[in-house]
Structure 1
């Protein structure tokens, strides 16, 4: 296992561990890739459900896919039976798509004992490991309490005031056509374009099938955008979900000074007062 990921062989060996909690972090709408569709429900044995869009988003916020509040996060983790000594492994049914968002949410809320399953459910099925047609049910309550880390998230005001910081690189995970304003945004009322001084690294470019490319290939992609020349990396996307795929990849290759612009383009592109790149 790496600092941020485990493979299917490791998970299969440790499925019965007393302190392991396995989470299936799912989203109903997949944007930016061709969705993997299943003819019937399937998951990994022992997995608990984690609905990103309802359990792990603050739906009282005007911001699309806003991170949960610390109180909401605490309530969800206690419901899932998670304690400070728990080891959490997160996967999704698309390979690597929504699991990184859940992983980064854990990190933002002060829980570090968390990993993502490399290749997710597709890799698990490919390995021929057992599957289940139903989620497990947690019967114990956990006692973990969130401790929010503001240094892992940035809002549009702070980002705007720091756009010309030479020691910061703003990386956009959207596809090139959206980044270059060659196509309209999928969300009504959102302008086409990009944030000034941002660079593009489409999350799909990091993938080899349903899992990440090799560490060497990932390192080369980050090197090409200038990631090794700055002190910190800020990540954006459409609404704060796929930016976390880039954050996970950055940590996988040792780039750990990472920040999420949670509002992302859904927020920036909707605010006429915020500048667009020329």
Structure 2
């Protein structure tokens, strides 16, 4: 499978999950779209819980949702028992929200067979498929593998500062237009309103279907990006509020055939809070 996505139909057809690790990567805090609320834990059967906020974020670093360390990836892999050759299927309880972030993290650490369940838990439930109320208990298998981060997958504020001068890459901010243009206050205390100089705005909801649960088709995404003057041979850096929803746009670009993509991990939570960095409104 070349696509980053798998369908609910495909997952339901996998009667033998012995070679597949199904990971619930839902997050508690949903920003930028109306959250789907749950009165109790609902899971897709035979899934493990991996916390994007704790397991896949460097909680010792300054910032929000900072990329995890190699040691953290090793810990998650050891806890559940998978490696870079394993097949991972990721889902979240909002349809498409945090699963693209987890996908980019695993891809950036060398996982080749990792996929996003398009539509996630909401689509699975809407189709009347079986659900559960628990996660699998990890077996604690030790994985003998060194995980290395592909440094080209993630950009820093310093990289972005240089890019303002060189314009080697196009920076795409996927926050809502009102936040991008500084018309509303930022949700995080101490963060300025506005955007990175010379960046463009394309809100992430535009790459999702009207219900916000699944990605638009690759052809629809190609038309969208062409209308925004995206160039398939150009380099793109995606940014958002904290590095979460930027990954939705990043995956959408990959679906549309764009290959030279990466993430500004600190995103506006970092840039807007650092008063030494320039902004535009």
Q: What TM bracket, shorter-length normalisation? A: over 0.9
Equivalent position of 1:259 in the other structure: 262
Matched, 1:275 2:278: yes
User: Contact 2:24 / 2:48 at 8 angstroms: preserved in 1?
Assistant: yes
Moved over 6 A (4+): none
Alpha-carbon separation, structure 2, partners of 1:154 and 1:85 = 26
Matches within 5 A, 1:95-244: 95-143=95-143, 144-208=145-209, 209=211, 210-228=213-231, 231-244=234-247
Please report the TM-score for the alignment, with normalisation by the length of structure 1.
0.96
Alpha-carbon separation, structure 1, partners of 2:80 and 2:46 = 12
Q: More displaced, 124-133 or 159-168?
A: 159-168
In the TM superposition, residue 277 of structure 1 has moved relative to its aligned partner by 2.0
**Unpaired runs of 5+ in structure 1?**
none
Alpha-carbon separation, structure 2, partners of 1:114 and 1:96 = 15
The SS at the match of 2:9 is: helix
In the TM superposition, residue 84 of structure 1 has moved relative to its aligned partner by 3.3
Equivalent position of 2:58 in the other structure: 58
Call closer, same or farther: CA 1:167–1:136 in 2, change over 3 Å. same
The SS at the match of 1:273 is: coil
Alpha-carbon separation, structure 2, partners of 1:84 and 1:158 = 28
The one of 247, 250, 258 aligned to 1:247: 250
User: Contact 1:25 / 1:51 at 8 angstroms: preserved in 2?
Assistant: yes
Call closer, same or farther: CA 1:84–1:262 in 2, change over 3 Å. closer
RMSD after superposition: 1.4
In the TM superposition, residue 15 of structure 1 has moved relative to its aligned partner by 5.0
User: Contact 1:192 / 1:269 at 8 angstroms: preserved in 2?
Assistant: yes
In the TM superposition, residue 167 of structure 1 has moved relative to its aligned partner by 4.2
